[in-house]
Amino acid sequence: MTPLHFGAAYYPEQWPQQRWAEDISLMKEAGFTVVRMAEFAWSSMELAQGQFDFDWLEQAIAQLAEAGIQTVLGTPTAAPPAWLTQTHPQTLAIDESGRRVQHGNRCHYCVNSPDYHAAAKRIAGAMAERFGKNPHVIGWQIDNEFCRPCFCETCQAEFIRFLKSRYGDLETLNRRWSTAYWSQTYFNWEQMPVPWGGHNPGLMLEHRRFITNSYTRFQKAQIDAMRPHLAPEAWITHNFMGWFDGFDHYTLSQDLDIVSWDWYVGSGRNDYAFSGAMHNIAYGYKNRNFWIMETQPNNVNWSSLNNPLEPGETSALAWHAIGHGADAWLYWQWRSAYGGQEQYHGSLVDQSGQPRPFYFDAQSLARDLSAASPILAGTVPAGQAALLYSFDSRWAIQNQRHTRDFDYVDYMVACYRPFSARNIPTHILSPDTALAGYKLVVAPALNVLTESQAQSLADYALAGGHLVLTPRTGMKDDANALLPQRQPGFLREAAGAEVEEYYALLEPVQVQGEINGQCKIWGERIKVLDEAGTRILARYGAGLGWLTGQPAVTVHNYGAGKVYLVGAVLDEVAQDALFALILREAGLEPALVTPQGVEACLRVGPDGREVYILINHTSQAQTVHLAWEAHNHLTQETSKTIQLSAYGAAVLTR
Amino acid sequence: MTPLHFGAAYYPEQWPQQRWAEDISLMKEAGFTVVRMAEFAWSSMELAQGQFDFDWLEQAIAQLAEAGIQTVLGTPTAAPPAWLTQTHPQTLAIDESGRRVQHGNRCHYCVNSPDYHAAAKRIAGAMAERFGKNPHVIGWQIDNEFCRPCFCETCQAEFIRFLKSRYGDLETLNRRWSTAYWSQTYFNWEQMPVPWGGHNPGLMLEHRRFITNSYTRFQKAQIDAMRPHLAPEAWITHNFMGWFDGFDHYTLSQDLDIVSWDWYVGSGRNDYAFSGAMHNIAYGYKNRNFWIMETQPNNVNWSSLNNPLEPGETSALAWHAIGHGADAWLYWQWRSAYGGQEQYHGSLVDQSGQPRPFYFDAQSLARDLSAASPILAGTVPAGQAALLYSFDSRWAIQNQRHTRDFDYVDYMVACYRPFSARNIPTHILSPDTALAGYKLVVAPALNVLTESQAQSLADYALAGGHLVLTPRTGMKDDANALLPQRQPGFLREAAGAEVEEYYALLEPVQVQGEINGQCKIWGERIKVLDEAGTRILARYGAGLGWLTGQPAVTVHNYGAGKVYLVGAVLDEVAQDALFALILREAGLEPALVTPQGVEACLRVGPDGREVYILINHTSQAQTVHLAWEAHNHLTQETSKTIQLSAYGAAVLTR
Amino acid sequence: MTPLHFGAAYYPEQWPQQRWAEDISLMKEAGFTVVRMAEFAWSSMELAQGQFDFDWLEQAIAQLAEAGIQTVLGTPTAAPPAWLTQTHPQTLAIDESGRRVQHGNRCHYCVNSPDYHAAAKRIAGAMAERFGKNPHVIGWQIDNEFCRPCFCETCQAEFIRFLKSRYGDLETLNRRWSTAYWSQTYFNWEQMPVPWGGHNPGLMLEHRRFITNSYTRFQKAQIDAMRPHLAPEAWITHNFMGWFDGFDHYTLSQDLDIVSWDWYVGSGRNDYAFSGAMHNIAYGYKNRNFWIMETQPNNVNWSSLNNPLEPGETSALAWHAIGHGADAWLYWQWRSAYGGQEQYHGSLVDQSGQPRPFYFDAQSLARDLSAASPILAGTVPAGQAALLYSFDSRWAIQNQRHTRDFDYVDYMVACYRPFSARNIPTHILSPDTALAGYKLVVAPALNVLTESQAQSLADYALAGGHLVLTPRTGMKDDANALLPQRQPGFLREAAGAEVEEYYALLEPVQVQGEINGQCKIWGERIKVLDEAGTRILARYGAGLGWLTGQPAVTVHNYGAGKVYLVGAVLDEVAQDALFALILREAGLEPALVTPQGVEACLRVGPDGREVYILINHTSQAQTVHLAWEAHNHLTQETSKTIQLSAYGAAVLTR
């Protein structure tokens, strides 16, 4: 068993068969254990409807297996062959401007087209039939980076069907969307548009859910066509894209065995709090370790400035991902094609067939992964605190930011950063997840909050949990309507306070008390409801008159626990101070104390085994002093002092 | 009689009837005298074609009346019901990109659709029939914020009809538009496009006039359907939008009894010269007091940064509006709906039904309005100077700015600012208005200037008036063609000078003489034609070589009056100095001398009664020293020294 | 014979015939020798299909001839008459958004429409028949500023035909475009889209070539219709637009007798290296002197800031153009029309019929041109160095910049600037041109480099030439596929080195050695292949780790010549130092040494006669000291010291 997989995407169909051996030999030297193949090879696998050619792929799988390299196969539905879209033009999506898209790109199909469903099931089923029990095919990826909504008439009809199933009757929909507003009332279902541009918040939110539902159905159609043919141990995944929010990833993850995602730094330098949050979110989709199905071999080609990583940096990125729950690290891609839209994308081997300078960085990483693989087998990232991440809330806020600088992701990261900086083992979860066991739960901008979610949070606090509510939390119901209560909605009693008014800020406002600093972008005026049980941690000072002297942050004793209500979007220093206070009160300790720029992650085995991963995210050498003797599985040395080279890592056990 | 109305937009159709009493009671406590209703309630009033339900509205009007609150009713044509657009899709507009718009927004109808005209007349007529003589319905608003042009085939046919009526024959049109240019010659009327993107300036200008004509006809259709049913004292208005220039507001105002407009500060802070100009323009549409039909209760939701006002500021804004001729102050809206596109917009009562902090600011303002109401009854804003505002000129310049920083509105405000800063009672008028009685008339960038308008201006000066012509004045005829004379066209003789050349400036040019400073953005090289009668107030100095030493500002003795020709767009200090000189020569005095940031407005009654309104636009307390004992109708005190709190106001008589 | 023509575009069809005499008299006073007419007069020349009216034009030609002014006639196909597009709507182009464009603009026809071809041949043929042998019509311009691609079905069919002729069969196309990538494989030709948005690089490049082919065919159709009717000495041209890259200008130039182009400074100030490169490129299209068919009389109207030139500056610009190979200088336009989209464009006479201040500047220039005309007759710009300019490379890079700041034109100018600053006589040529005779050849970002072009460059160096290869040179084949070799592709042996990796730079990297400075935007890591024959001129220092210590600039002894490989995009100072070194090694000397801002150009006659043109591009007077006694043909003075007034020029012979 290989717990830490290492490899790349490989496209043998782009190269003459006589070259494969040389490429595979270079892969082996690089330390590959796995490749992903076939996810864009539809036109090479189905030459006309029902006329399949899988021999070349079988040959490639076999040659790779001989070199000790396993295969993950992708279903190729992200890029239909021209014969299909030509004969069935309605399988091509209609974009938001109302235009049918063209052959030659990706994800350009109508996700609800019955013809496309049929074609997708045919190719996915045929692949599964041929390779489902091939011992070298360890897993399957459905499609590739789902992304594109379609605005065709089929989608409109499906959207209406979807809304019927959610609301039952139009009277309910009209009431829950307040359609008396602007005379929007729907008199029959056929009046419902697939929205482009701005629309009723209820309609906007449901349309996002409809896209989620569409991709879920499309994915499920493929899974159902494949599963009967697969070996029991073969798993199915889809490769998500970081912060992409085109659909609810929790929903799509339900039908998957494992989650994978494609992590690209893109332009600029990695911010490891920002990427750490993405890793934790990927873990949280199924509360299970995940794969990095694609990552950049030095540089991408699709940013406005496609700068490379620094030498050695790929290693820091890989260990960072593993520290947060990744079990595989695959580059996109192995070798640059001569043509195609991504000619300038990084790769391990260039179009000439020679290793790029980056190849040797990857090779060195592979050696370390191999060394640490046994000790990491079966471990998962520890979690003492949890943040709640919600697509509904994100969509609701992004659709109505109220002030251009309030960005849901920015605020999520601003809440995550104090945990990251202190090496607190943290999970990021759906608000529908059970919370028992966490010492602290933060609900950043949890704008849409249903009564049952609120109940779960209140119960958590009542039982002794520490709960942090923030600006914009608890404002909307799940039809994106304002709650008839003030914020935090159903949690007002738990918070012992409510938000009397919220303000988009033109200029910063002072905050003072146990926390001092500035409130920027957004401030909420808190009204304490339970004065006896509530401590005011900070009040607003100079700035917007409406806020002067009003509570900005409160904490309420609620049952055996505490509920914090944070009304102010704080500057970074004050935000850090606030969470330092909260962490102290919740009794949360760092996994390890490290110098700035050095991260410590903790993975724990089912046997209680603790494995610490240290990552130096800086370009300078760093020293970490431990309280205990550690064995470093990368160097096989044992010491209380760990030396990390630039971008270096260590894997430690006691 | 209530000369100063106070209230808000109210949407009872969005709430269960059992809640109305509580809301109306809160309105009464807030000091409401009026609400506007029904302008988005079509789907609640006409449930299917011809099937009306007005009972709920009658009930609301009655309940409000019991609380002493009058009603303004809006016709609901800004938002057609879905049953109408579904059965008559051609009632939906085609946008500039050629796409039919969707149900679910506002003003999304084709303004020329015969079916829409029929539907609009039906609902407007039915409302008038039911409520036209209801004693509690004091006025009517047609539609809401007309705004959207349509590009459908019906509109094209109407546009051609419109052009035929203006030009008679194609030969004339071809000649006046210089269509020999770029082979644009029209051989038959059907070749005429509804323009999208750039086109012949004549076509562009006429298309704006066509939109004006379309909305005028649409408005008139409703008025005609309603008027026979209305009580004689019931008035009809439409609510315009500040600087919006989608049509000629003077034309639309002709069929209205009074003008109203919707004033929103939006993002940032109010600049009272900028807003003062808008108020004066609204007054000038009919030379009659106007209503503020909508204004922001603290904040809007549609800007990129929806910051609130400061506490107390709504009072300064209201008195500022009243000082410039407003007789009513209505917030949009009373209470936040649970759903709909404007969930985050300010209101007096939040979605929970509780007063927001802002409510108490409004309540305090209402008390002051009530106190000052009697003394202000029947008064109108005084006017000693006039600025001329022209949609034709604005459209002509905005379509061909020649340099991105020449903005018609900016320049209008730059000419208005010296008057505002000095509390000079000023009107802003159409160039077609009679000018006798004004000591000074300014024609800022009056680009399109017909021979008759020019004659009126020349006559005004000849009879002793002081006339100021500026850059870009008198350049075009009313087909947007260059005049065969140099600027200022037909006013060359009156000006005693002409513009030899105009220059868009890359860098500033010095100006020196009686006025010193910088010419920015735009400079015109003046050639004096009547040397004996002309005084050169300033010449250009260092900067663009073409301008060096040339006259920049001249004044010409013309009959009993004077004509200034200003060739330079001056920096703010020099512009102020120039107008200080001009005001001195015209013998114009401030209404009152006030500290910076404090405005004094003068309203005059038919009996000659003078009422001064002082407004402190700053967040600091201010003191105003008067030359006479004043009675302050807000405090009932009498003194020569007026203390104004932050954002405070005073209403003074001798 | 008049070697230096001077004039303007003139539109008599826009004015009553009785005004022509006055305008022509003003032209004569201004020193005109030529006007261009009729290129937008279709609707005045063909009043309905086949119904021609040329009498007015014949009259205008005759009246001008009487004043000694010759005529260039344009075919009017840039602006079809409304009767044509109305009866044949498919002659209007479909824009990239899929919408049919409207009558009333320019170049709005479908360049492949058979109906449009027929109409174009009809009008062009009829004009040639009528005026082809008119002794006062010296030349012809086809259409005007070709620019607009069309996306209609006719164009798609033509595109497919074009691709068939280039690739023969789909198998070849699929292979050369790597269509196995993203399942793009074409199974039949009808699947091929006319691309909008991003697509396969092969498809994108071929589409640009298809547009080239379309305009070439359209132009040729007109030439073929005209040529039989023309006098032997009458020439045919088309007026190109500077850096415009909508098609390959080398290809279109083949069917033209001479090249002309329209030079507008537009917004801001002229940078004479930037414009000098454009002039040299225009010369290089046919290696023949060219016309400036349009230039700005002080200012344009289509920029965001249409500032004028400075007084006198038009003279500097004209002599600059002539120094680089222009034989004519025509303003656009003579007189402002009353209407039309370009009302604010500069002209010599304003709409009132009076000379603008600029008129006198032009008049003064005309006198100088006339004085220098005899000595310049028959001369052409000298060329000791050559830069290679390639539309294929430009398209390939602009389609995939990889970093937003790598701009092909910027980099071309950055390579040209050291030559311009030193007055080195330089040509800019197609890479398909013979290179013998040049001491130095630079291939800036010659991204697409075919084997035969590479062979030509290698042969050039082998025979003793000095060849400079730069970043991104030699990377692609002519299907826009990556070459199977590393950069510089087929020139690796000649360079004695290859590019191991290229990097888009987030921050600058130091460069040190014989050249010191910073590498910005882009750096290539050079691997020396022939260590014995290679000198490393500079290595990378601090900055991106991948580059540290690696060769940045090398020079390789190759046969009798030298090949430089420049891997770094250098800052301006370092770039200048590098080329100073290269020029020194190549033995290249300035034409003349001049103060900064003063340019010296050299034109050479067939008799070996050398004529130097000095241009003062600054607003200060300048003195140039020569090593020899020069006769200035503008002042008729002889001296070793030349005084130049602001923007002044001198035309010198020994």
Residues of chain A contacting residue C187, judged by C-beta atoms under 8 Å apart: 43, 47-48, 81-83, 86
Query: What's the CA gap between B33 and B522, in Å, rounded?
Result: 49
Specify whether A344 is located in the same domain as A491.
no
Q: Which chains touch C (3 or more CB pairs under 8 A)?
A: A, B
Q: Which of C39, C46, C294, C599 is catalytic?
A: C294
A423 at interface of C, judged by CB pairs closer than 8 A: no
CA distance C152 to chain A (A): 14
Specify whether A371 is located in the same domain as A453.
no
Rounded to the nearest angstrom, the gap between the alpha carbon of residue C307 and the centroid of all alpha carbons in its chain is 23
Query: What's the CA gap between A68 and A35, in Å, rounded?
Result: 11
Specify whether B347 is located in the same domain as B479.
no
Question: Strands (DSSP E) along C392-516, which ranges?
Answer: 426-429, 440-443, 466-469, 497-504, 509-513
Predicted local distance difference test score (pLDDT) of residue C591: 80
Q: Is the pLDDT of residue B1 over 90?
A: no
Residues of chain C contacting residue A145, judged by C-beta atoms under 8 Å apart: none
The CATH number of the domain holding residue C569 is 3.40.50.880
- C2 pLDDT band, cuts 50/70/90, is low
Predicted local distance difference test score (pLDDT) of residue A394: 98
Predicted local distance difference test score (pLDDT) of residue A3: 75
Q: Is the pLDDT of residue C3 over 80?
A: no
Query: What's the CA gap between A322 and C180, in Å, rounded?
Result: 33
- Cβ neighbours of residue C242 under 8 Å, at least 6 residues apart? C261, C262, C263, C264, C278
Query: What's the CA gap between B570 and B572, in Å, rounded?
Result: 6
**How large a percentage of chain A has pLDDT more than 90?**
99
**Residue in A153, A176, A181 to test binding to B, most B beta-carbons within 10 Å:** A181
Query: What's the CA gap between A236 and A72, in Å, rounded?
Result: 9
Crossing angle between the packed helical segments B114-131 and B55-66, to the nearest 10 degrees: 40
| Residue ending a domain, choose from B333, B358, B376 | B376
Residues of chain B contacting residue C347, judged by C-beta atoms under 8 Å apart: none
- B570 pLDDT band, cuts 50/70/90, is very high
Bigger pLDDT: C3 or B246?
B246
In chain A, which residue's Cα lies nearest the Cα of C190?
A86
Q: Which of A97, A187, A400 sits opposite B344 (nearest CB)?
A: A400
Q: Is the pLDDT of residue C601 over 50?
A: yes
Question: Do B182 and C79 lie within an 8 Å CB cutoff?
Answer: yes
Residues of chain C contacting residue B180, judged by C-beta atoms under 8 Å apart: 11, 13-14, 41, 43-44
For chain C, what is the mean pLDDT?
Answer: 97
CA distance C320 to chain B (A): 21
**How large a percentage of chain A has pLDDT more than 70?**
100
SS3 call for A93: coil
Specify whether B101 is located in the same domain as B214.
yes
Question: Do B195 and C104 lie within an 8 Å CB cutoff?
Answer: yes
Specify whether C567 is located in the same domain as C504.
yes
Please state whether B340 falls in left (phi above 0), alpha (psi between -120 and 50) or beta.
left
Q: Where are the alpha helices (DSSP H) in A198-296?
A: 201-226, 249-254, 272-286
Q: Is the pLDDT of residue C571 over 70?
A: yes
Find the mean pLDDT for residues C135-157: 97
> Which tens digits make up the pLDDT trace of B24-67?
999 999 999 999 999 999 999 999 999 999 999 999 999 999 99
The number of beta carbons lying within 10 Å of the beta carbon of residue A78 is 25
Query: What's the CA gap between B436 and A155, in Å, rounded?
Result: 65
In chain B, which residue's Cα lies nearest the Cα of C87?
B191
What's the token pair of residue C409?
Answer: 């034109």
Q: Which of B191, B486, B546 sits opposite C311 (nearest CB)?
A: B546
> Which tens digits make up the pLDDT trace of C399-432?
999 999 999 999 999 999 999 999 999 999 999 9
Q: Which of B145, B313, B498, B599 is catalytic?
A: B145
Q: Which of A98, A202, A482 sits opposite B99 (nearest CB)?
A: A98
Q: Which of C182, C196, C405 sits opposite A106 (nearest CB)?
A: C182
DSSP string across C328-345: EEEES-SB--SSSTTTTS
Specify whether B369 is located in the same domain as B390.
no
Predicted local distance difference test score (pLDDT) of residue B3: 75
How many domains is chain C partitioned into structurally? 3
Residues of chain C contacting residue A358, judged by C-beta atoms under 8 Å apart: 501
Domain-located, residue B565: yes
CA distance C116 to chain A (A): 27
Find the mean pLDDT for residues A33-61: 98
Domain-located, residue C193: no
In chain C, which residue's Cα lies nearest the Cα of B188?
C83
Instruction: Tell me how long chain C is.
Output: 654
Specify whether A23 is located in the same domain as A49.
yes
Specify whether B70 is located in the same domain as B28.
yes
- Does this complex have an ipTM over 0.90? yes
- Cβ neighbours of residue C165 under 8 Å, at least 6 residues apart? none
Element (H, E) at A504: strand A497-504
- Segments forming the whole domain that contains residue B33: 5-150+210-376
Predicted local distance difference test score (pLDDT) of residue C259: 98
Find the mean pLDDT for residues B272-290: 98
> Which tens digits make up the pLDDT trace of B85-116?
999 999 999 999 999 999 999 999 999 999 99
Which one-letter amino acid corresponds to residue A557?
N
Please state whether C212 falls in left (phi above 0), alpha (psi between -120 and 50) or beta.
alpha
Residues of chain C contacting residue B184, judged by C-beta atoms under 8 Å apart: 43, 79, 82, 103-104, 340
> Which tens digits make up the pLDDT trace of C249-288?
999 999 999 999 999 999 999 999 999 999 999 999 999 9
Domain-located, residue C437: yes
* Structural contact between residues B652 and B625, judged by C-beta atoms closer than 8 angstroms: no
* Structural contact between residues B379 and B418, judged by C-beta atoms closer than 8 angstroms: no
Total CB pairs under 8 A between chain B and C:
158
The CATH number of the domain holding residue C75 is 3.20.20.80
Window 356-415 of B, Cβ < 8 Å to A = 356-358
What's the token pair of residue B268?
Answer: 């940032």
Predicted local distance difference test score (pLDDT) of residue A1: 45
> Which tens digits make up the pLDDT trace of A277-286?
999 999 999 9
Q: Which chains touch A (3 or more CB pairs under 8 A)?
A: B, C
How many Cα atoms sit within 13 Å of B308 on the Cβ side? 28
C49 at interface of B, judged by CB pairs closer than 8 A: no
**Is A58 an annotated catalytic residue?**
no
CA distance B348 to chain A (A): 11
Question: Do C340 and B178 lie within an 8 Å CB cutoff?
Answer: yes
In chain A, which residue's Cα lies nearest the Cα of C500?
A356
What's the token pair of residue B536?
Answer: 């050169």
Distance between first and last Cα of chain B: 24
Print burial letters for A294-318: b (CB count within 10 Å at least 16), e (below 16): bbbbbbbbebebbbbbbbbbbbbbb
Question: Do B183 and C83 lie within an 8 Å CB cutoff?
Answer: no
Specify whether B631 is located in the same domain as B578.
no
Q: Is the pLDDT of residue C503 over 70?
A: yes
**How large a percentage of chain C has pLDDT more than 90?**
99
Four-residue CA torsion sign, B485, B491, B493, B499 = negative
C87 at interface of B, judged by CB pairs closer than 8 A: no
For chain A, what is the mean pLDDT?
Answer: 97
Question: Do B311 and A482 lie within an 8 Å CB cutoff?
Answer: no
Predicted local distance difference test score (pLDDT) of residue B184: 97
| Strand-pair partners of A566 | A553
Q: What is the largest CA-CA distance in chain A?
A: 80
Find the mean pLDDT for residues A595-603: 98
Q: Is the pLDDT of residue B333 over 70?
A: yes
Question: Do B339 and A177 lie within an 8 Å CB cutoff?
Answer: yes
Domain-located, residue B262: yes
- C596 pLDDT band, cuts 50/70/90, is very high
Query: What's the CA gap between C285 and C237, in Å, rounded?
Result: 12
Q: Is the pLDDT of residue C570 over 90?
A: yes
In chain B, which residue's Cα lies nearest the Cα of A97?
B99
Instruction: Tell me how long chain A is.
Output: 654
CA distance C278 to chain B (A): 24
> Which tens digits make up the pLDDT trace of A380-396?
999 999 999 999 999 99
Window 7-46 of A, Cβ < 8 Å to C = 11, 13-14, 40-44
Residues of chain A contacting residue C480, judged by C-beta atoms under 8 Å apart: 339
SS3 call for B537: strand
> Which tens digits make up the pLDDT trace of C320-354?
999 999 999 999 999 999 999 999 999 999 999 99
Query: What's the CA gap between A174 and B326, in Å, rounded?
Result: 38
CA distance A106 to chain C (A): 7
> Which tens digits make up the pLDDT trace of A284-308?
999 999 999 999 999 999 999 999 9
Domain-located, residue C187: no
Rounded to the nearest angstrom, the gap between the alpha carbon of residue B353 and the centroid of all alpha carbons in its chain is 34
**Is B145 an annotated catalytic residue?**
yes
Q: Which three-class secondary structure string do you get for C355-371?
A: ECHHHHHHHHHHHHHHH
Residues of chain C contacting residue A332, judged by C-beta atoms under 8 Å apart: none
Q: Which of C34, C52, C220 is nearest to C130 (CA)?
A: C52
What's the token pair of residue B190?
Answer: 């059907």
Write the burial class of residue A168 (CB in 10 Å: 0-12 exposed, 13-18 middle, 19+ buried).
Answer: exposed
Q: Is the pLDDT of residue C19 over 70?
A: yes
Domain-located, residue A469: yes
Window 164-203 of C, Cβ < 8 Å to A = 176-188, 190-191, 193, 195-203
**How large a percentage of chain C has pLDDT more than 70?**
100
Query: What's the CA gap between B310 and C616, in Å, rounded?
Result: 59
Predicted local distance difference test score (pLDDT) of residue B271: 98
C505 at interface of A, judged by CB pairs closer than 8 A: yes
Q: Which of B179, B484, B506 sits opposite C352 (nearest CB)?
A: B484
Query: What's the CA gap between A530 and B189, in Å, rounded?
Result: 75
Find the mean pLDDT for residues A175-182: 97
| Strand-pair partners of A612 | A602, A652
Specify whether C613 is located in the same domain as C580.
no
| Residue ending a domain, choose from B376, B401, B432 | B376
Domain-located, residue B170: no
Question: Do B340 and A404 lie within an 8 Å CB cutoff?
Answer: no
The CATH number of the domain holding residue C646 is 2.60.40.1180
**Residue in B97, B160, B181, B501 to test binding to C, most C beta-carbons within 10 Å:** B181
The pTM of this model reads 0.97
Q: Which three-class secondary structure string do you get for B157-171?
A: HHHHHHHHHHHCCHH
Q: Where are the alpha helices (DSSP H) in B377-407?
A: 391-399
Specify whether A428 is located in the same domain as A512.
yes
Specify whether B323 is located in the same domain as B348.
yes
Query: What's the CA gap between A51 and A122, in Å, rounded?
Result: 11
> Which tens digits make up the pLDDT trace of C527-569?
999 999 999 999 999 999 999 999 999 999 999 999 999 999 9
Question: Strands (DSSP E) along C148-289, which ranges?
Answer: 235-237, 239-240, 260-263
| Residue ending a domain, choose from A377, A398, A418 | A377
Predicted local distance difference test score (pLDDT) of residue C426: 98
Query: What's the CA gap between B399 and B245, in Å, rounded?
Result: 12
C307 at interface of B, judged by CB pairs closer than 8 A: yes
C589 at interface of B, judged by CB pairs closer than 8 A: no
Q: Is the pLDDT of residue C149 over 80?
A: yes
B130 at interface of C, judged by CB pairs closer than 8 A: no
Domain-located, residue C192: no
Cα R_g (chain B), whole angstroms? 26
Find the mean pLDDT for residues C627-650: 97
Cα R_g (chain C), whole angstroms? 26
Question: Do A82 and C187 lie within an 8 Å CB cutoff?
Answer: yes
> Which tens digits make up the pLDDT trace of C222-256?
999 999 999 999 999 999 999 999 999 999 999 99
In chain C, which residue's Cα lies nearest the Cα of B185?
C43
Q: Which of B116, B48, B115 is nearest to B78 (CA)?
A: B116
Find the mean pLDDT for residues C614-640: 97
Q: Which of A80, A82, A306 sits opposite C186 (nearest CB)?
A: A82
Q: Is the pLDDT of residue B2 over 60?
A: no
The number of beta carbons lying within 10 Å of the beta carbon of residue B16 is 7
Question: Do A102 and C196 lie within an 8 Å CB cutoff?
Answer: yes
* Structural contact between residues B582 and B514, judged by C-beta atoms closer than 8 angstroms: no
> Which tens digits make up the pLDDT trace of A211-266?
999 999 999 999 999 999 999 999 999 999 999 999 999 999 999 999 999 999 99
